Structure 1
Amino acid sequence: MSQLTAQHALLLARELSARFAVDAAANDLAGGRPLSQLAALRESGLLTALIPEAYGGPGLPWSTVLQVARELASGDSAVGHLYGYHFLALSGVLLRGSEAQRQRLLGASAREHWFWGNSVNTFSYSLFGQRSGEDYVLNGYRPFSSGSHIADRLLVAWEDQDSDVRFFGSLAVDQPGITLAHDWDGFGQRQTGSGRVLFENVRIPAADIYGAADSGANLFPSLGAVIAQQVLIAVFVGTAWGALRTARDYTREHSRPWITSGVERHGDDPWVRRVYGELYTSTLAAEGLADRSLALFDQAWAQGSALTSQARGEVAVATAAANVFAGDTALDVTTRIFEVMGARSATKTQGFDRFWRNVRTHTLHNPAEYKTRNVGNWYLNGDYPEPGIYQ
C-alpha cells in the first residue's frame, strides 16, 4: 500500500511545479514530448494518487488529485493538463470496468507507475469496431488524443460498426496497428500530444473492453464528463496563478514606470497596484469556486453506482459555474498582465504569451456559453443539466 498522503502529494506538486516553471517557456516553444517532466512525475509517485488502496494505490480523493493538477498547471500548463487527463483516462476502468479489470489494470498501473493517455474524443465519428468473437477489431482514428504521445496505456472509445453503439476499453500504446500521428498543431498546450491516434486492424480483447454506453439506471459512468470539466478548471485556475506570479516577479524586477506616472518605481504606480489587486482577487474567487465544486464532486463520486440524480445535478451545476468563471478569469489575467508588465514583456524570448495561448486553446474547445445557460436554467427553473458528453 502506498504511503502517499494528500498533504505530501500537494507538497510534491508545489516542488515539481517550481521545477517545471523554469523551462516552461522554452518547452512550450519546442513542443514535443515532456519526457523529463513525466519521469519526475513517475518518480514522485503522483501518477498513482487516485488508485484505491485495494488495488495498491494511496486512494487519494479527486479533490486532492485535481488540486495537484492545478499546482502543476501553475508551473507548466501542459503538464497540469496531462496530469489531469491521465486520471480522466485511468478513471475509465473505475467508472465502467469489472472488478477483474480493476484488479488487473489498476494493480499494474500502481506497480509500474503507468501514464494513461486518451483516444476518446466525443465529437469524432471516426473509429469503428467490428466484432471478432468476443473481441473487437478497430479501424480509423481519434483526434485530440491528449497524452497519447507519452502514454503506457490508452483509454479508447469506438462505435460498433453494425449497431453504432459506443464502447470503451483500454489498450497498451505499443499494441500492433496503433500509430501516433504527432500532428497536434494548436498554438497552445503544445506539449500535450493532442493530435490523432490511428488504428489499423487493432485487436482489443474482450478482457480489455469495458461496459457499453451509459444506461439510465446507473448515473455513475456519466461522471466522466464532469471529470473532464474539472480538469479544465484546474488548468484554468493553475494557469491564472502561474501567469499572475510570473508577471508580479517581472514587474518587480524589470518593469519601468511610465514617464508621466510621477513615480520612480513601477510598483508604486496606483494604477499598477489596482490592476494586480483586481487580478489577484478574481483568481482567488475562481479558486474558491473550484474548491467548492471539488467538495461536491468528492461526495458524488463516493456514491458510486448509487449516485442519485440530485447529487449528479448539483455537482454538474457547481462544476459548470466554476468552469465558466475560471475560464473567464484566466483569459482576463493572461491578457491584462501585459498592461502592467510593459512593452518589453511582449517578446517571443520572454514567452509570456504562452499563458494566454494555453487558456484560449482550452476555452475554444469548451464553450462557456452552453454551461452558463445550464446554470441559468437550473437557477431559474430548477432543472439540472441532462447528463451528456460535455457536462
Structure 2
Amino acid sequence: MMARSFWTGQATPEELSRWEAVADEAAETLAVDALERDRANLDPHRELQHLRDVGLVNLLDPAEFGGGGAHWETAFRAIRVLSRADASVAQVLAYHYINSGNIGFAVDPARQPELYRRTVAGRWVWGDSVNPVDPDLTLTALDDGSYRLDGTKRFSTGASVGDVVLASATVAGGPLDGRPVFVLLDHDRAGIRYHGDWDALGQRLSASGSVTFEQVAVAASDILGELSDEPFSTLITPGIQLAFGNLYLGIAQGALRKARELTLARNNSWFLSGVDRYAEDPFVLRVFGELLSKVEAVEALADAVGREFDAVVAKGAEVTAEDRGVLAQRIARLKVVSTEVSIEVTTRVFEVTGSSSAKASVGLDLWWRNVRTHTLHDPVDYKKLEVGAYYVNGDLQPISLYT
C-alpha cells in the first residue's frame, strides 16, 4: 500500500486566523464554568457537542469529503487555544485528531473516502483504547471470517464519550495471526463496557477511564489496518507528542492570564514595597516578566515545529525513516521545554497572586492540577535522552508508540 497524504502544503495566515478565532470563541464558552464542570467530574458530552457545532471536530478532514480541509499546524493551534480554558476537553479533541488521523496515515487509500464521508456526516468524535503499556487486547479469528475482541485497556481517552472507539489488538489465529491491528468500533457495540473509573488529580473531564471488551463481535471490515514501522503511517506518534506540547503550552498561557487578572484585582500592596498596588510591585513584575518570556519562547518553538510537521506529512509515501526520526526529536525538544515551563508557570503564579488565590473558590489550582497530571503521560527524561542522543551522536530513537 502506498500512503497518500490529503494534507499538502502549509496553513495560510488566513486559515490559521480563521480557526484560531473559532477556537477562541469556543474557549470563552468553556471558560465560563470550567471549574464547576471540573469538580462535577462528568464526561464532557455537552462540551464536545459544542465543538461539533463550531466545526472543530471535523477541522482536519479533507474538504473534498465535507471536512474543514485545514492543516495539522492549525489543529495544534486549536488544541493550544482550548487548553487555556479547559485542558480536559482540549485533550479529548487532541486524541480525536490523532485517532481519526489514522484514516489518512494508515488506512488503505481505497477505503479512505468512505471513512472520511462517514466521520464527517456523523461528526464523529474518535475515542481510543490503545494504551501501549497495557496488555494487548486479543482479536480472535473465527471460522466464518469474523473476529471476537476481548480484554481491558486503561487510560482510554475519549472512549466513553466518542461516537467510535479505535482499539489496538493482537490477532489470534487466521491469516493475520500474531499481528497488531487497529479496529474501529461504534460506541454502543454489544460487549463494550465503559468503567467510568478515571479518578485523577487533573484532566478530570478527559474521559480517560478503562474499557472492557467482552466477546465483542468484530467484522473484517472493522479492521482499519496493521500497525507497522512504515514511516508515513507512524507519524501519528510524533503527532500526539506535538499535541501534548501544545496542550501544556496552552495551560501555561491560561494560568498566566488568570494570574494577571487576579493580580490586577488585588488591593493595596506589600508594606515594604514602596508602591500602592501589587500590580506595581517590582518583584511581582519580575516574576511575570520571567514567566512570560519563557512561555513565549516555548510558543515560538511550537509554531516552528507545527509547520515542520506539515512539511513532513506533505511528503506522503516519500517520508523516510530519517525524516520521521528528525521530526520526532524536534518534537521531543518541545515536549521537554513545554513540560518544564508549564509546571513552573502553574506553580509560581501563586507567588504573584497572594494567599487569597489559594482559595478553592478561585480555582487557580486547576491549571497546575491539569498539567501535573498529563505531563506524567510518559517520562520527559526519556525525551531529553532522545534529544541528547541525536545532538551528540546522531542517534535516532526506534519507532514505537512513544517515540
Q: Give the structure 1 partner of residue 194 of structure 2.
A: 180
Q: So what's the TM-score if we normalise by structure 1?
A: 0.95
- Counterpart residue identity of residue 144, structure 1: F
**2:154 is the counterpart of 1:143:** yes
Please list, as runs of the form range in 1=range in 2, the aligned pairs for 1:294-333 lying within 5 A after superposition.
Answer: 294-333=306-345
Aligned partner (choices 324, 338, 346) of residue 358 of structure 2: 346
Q: Give the structure 2 partner of residue 249 of structure 1.
A: 261
Question: Secondary structure at 1:155's aligned position in 2?
Answer: strand
Q: Are the equivalent residues in 1 in contact too, given 2:44–2:207 (CA < 8 A)?
A: no
Deviates more, 1:298-307 or 1:233-242: 298-307
Aligned partner (choices 213, 237, 259) of residue 249 of structure 2: 237
Aligned partner (choices 48, 53, 78) of residue 38 of structure 1: 48
Please list, as runs of the form range in 1=range in 2, the aligned pairs for 1:39-188 lying within 5 A after superposition.
Answer: 39-132=49-142, 133-161=144-172, 163-188=177-202
Question: Secondary structure at 2:249's aligned position in 1?
Answer: helix
**2:285 is the counterpart of 1:273:** yes
C-alpha change, 1:255 and 1:130, in structure 2 (3 Å) is: farther
- Counterpart residue identity of residue 123, structure 2: H
Q: Are the equivalent residues in 2 in contact too, given 1:55–1:102 (CA < 8 A)?
A: no
Aligned equivalents of 2:30 and 2:137: distance in 1? 35
- What is the Cα-based RMSD across aligned positions, in Å? 1.5
Aligned equivalents of 1:5 and 1:109: distance in 2? 22
Q: Are the equivalent residues in 1 in contact too, given 2:55–2:68 (CA < 8 A)?
A: no
- Counterpart residue identity of residue 249, structure 2: V
Question: Secondary structure at 1:11's aligned position in 2?
Answer: helix
What number of residue pairs does the alignment pair up? Answer: 386
Q: Give the structure 1 partner of residue 204 of structure 2.
A: 190
Deviates more, 1:240-249 or 1:36-45: 36-45
- Counterpart residue identity of residue 123, structure 1: V
Q: Are the equivalent residues in 1 in contact too, given 2:266–2:278 (CA < 8 A)?
A: no
C-alpha change, 1:255 and 1:303, in structure 2 (3 Å) is: farther
For residues 13-64 of structure 1, give each alpha carbon's deviation from its aligned partner in whole angstroms, at most 9, with x where no partner exists: 0111112112111111111122222121111111111111232212211000
Question: Secondary structure at 1:47's aligned position in 2?
Answer: coil
- Counterpart residue identity of residue 21, structure 1: A
Runs of 4+ in 1 over 6 A off after TM superposition: none
- Counterpart residue identity of residue 172, structure 2: Q
* 1:331 to partner: Cα distance: 0.2
- Any gaps of 5 or more consecutive residues in structure 1? none
C-alpha change, 1:385 and 1:348, in structure 2 (3 Å) is: same
- Any gaps of 5 or more consecutive residues in structure 2? 1-13
Q: Are the equivalent residues in 1 in contact too, given 2:150–2:213 (CA < 8 A)?
A: yes
- Identical aligned pairs, as a percentage? 35
Question: Secondary structure at 1:26's aligned position in 2?
Answer: helix
Aligned equivalents of 1:255 and 1:384: distance in 2? 54
Aligned partner (choices 355, 368, 384) of residue 356 of structure 1: 368
Aligned equivalents of 2:284 and 2:253: distance in 1? 17
Please list, as runs of the form range in 1=range in 2, the aligned pairs for 1:376-387 lying within 5 A after superposition.
Answer: 376-387=388-399
Q: Give the structure 2 partner of residue 213 of structure 1.
A: 227
Aligned equivalents of 1:205 and 1:36: distance in 2? 31
Aligned equivalents of 1:281 and 1:235: distance in 2? 18
Question: Secondary structure at 2:276's aligned position in 1?
Answer: coil
For residues 127-180 of structure 1, give each alpha carbon's deviation from its aligned partner in whole angstroms, at most 9, with x where no partner exists: 211012433210111111111121001111012235443111211111111111
Question: Secondary structure at 1:46's aligned position in 2?
Answer: coil
Q: Are the equivalent residues in 2 in contact too, given 1:256–1:342 (CA < 8 A)?
A: no
* 1:75 to partner: Cα distance: 1.1
For residues 215-248 of structure 1, give each alpha carbon's deviation from its aligned partner in whole angstroms, at most 9, with x where no partner exists: 4xx2112111111101111110010000000110
Aligned equivalents of 1:100 and 1:175: distance in 2? 25
Aligned equivalents of 1:321 and 1:310: distance in 2? 17
